[in-house]
Structure 1
């Protein structure tokens, strides 16, 4: 039986590419809009969300101009999609929240189980539950639009 060669799909480059001001790009806000250049500027406007984005870092970073977030949102173009440029603590709420919950449980559970009366166990359980909801509330507020 002859061998059948299957064409391999091209691998998407992960290296960021320089942003061309004359091209049209998809909106990085994921609202299905398209970015087009604003005349006589190094900025783009979105056709859907009406946000303005400026080109920074010698043409490799697209930064959102007006934002309600406490940190600037920025993306790099890899040729196919936008990749978050400044992924720091602001972009990693979930691991931080899980770490906080793990620390609370590792400290709170031994304290709750070591108390002799049943009423203290219930009190500790309520306190731990309320403290566990705090990181969940932080994540909810951080990721809402």
Structure 2
């Protein structure tokens, strides 16, 4: 289990540093539950019972979320996103471990070509898994 710092609720009446690391300040936008940076012009919306801010980007499908711990912003991620690299790496190694003995035992001809095609399909599956879950 990972050690986590205390999470503080976000007060819309306070100023915070910008989580984009451009030395900007997040200022509340009047009559909304949003904050804007005075340096990078990004807009952030307060979500999750005032514990997170989410970056509003209409062109980017994956939105970033941050939590305030009292001193700095912490980027929040889903548990599967933290370990997708290891999942992809293990699938790639498993495909190699399956393909190499299969290719060694095949004599040649049609069996060898089908074994090579099977190995390439497994490797392409691993690459597509990596491309699907990366950010």
Structure 1 residues 21, 93: CA separation in 2 closer, same or farther (over 3 Å shift)? Answer: same
Aligned to 1:10: none
- The answer as to 2:69 corresponding to 1:78 is yes
Structure 1 residues 138, 36: CA separation in 2 closer, same or farther (over 3 Å shift)? Answer: same
Per-residue CA distance 1:106-133 (angstroms, 9 max, x = gap): 3222212222249938946972795277
Task: Compute the TM-score of the two structures, normalised by the length of structure 1.
Answer: 0.64
Structure 1 residues 125, 45: CA separation in 2 closer, same or farther (over 3 Å shift)? Answer: same
| TM superposition shift of 1:16 | 0.6
Aligned to 2:51: 60
SS in 2 for 1:97: helix
Distance in 2, Cα, partners of 1:77 & 1:125: 48
Aligned to 1:20: 11
Task: Compute the TM-score of the two structures, normalised by the length of structure 2.
Answer: 0.68
Alignment of 1:116-131 (within 5 A): 116-117=107-108, 120=112, 123=116, 127=120, 131=124
RMSD of the alignment, in Å? 3.5
Aligned to 1:8: none
Per-residue CA distance 1:59-113 (angstroms, 9 max, x = gap): 111122335124x432211122222334233454312321221221232222122
- The answer as to 2:98 corresponding to 1:103 is no
Structure 1 residues 104, 116: CA separation in 2 closer, same or farther (over 3 Å shift)? Answer: same
Q: Is the CA contact 1:52–1:65 (under 8 Å) kept in the aligned structure 2?
A: yes
Unaligned runs of 5+ in 2: none
Instruction: State the number of aligned residues.
Output: 129
SS in 1 for 2:57: coil
- The answer as to 2:123 corresponding to 1:138 is no
Structure 1 residues 27, 101: CA separation in 2 closer, same or farther (over 3 Å shift)? Answer: farther
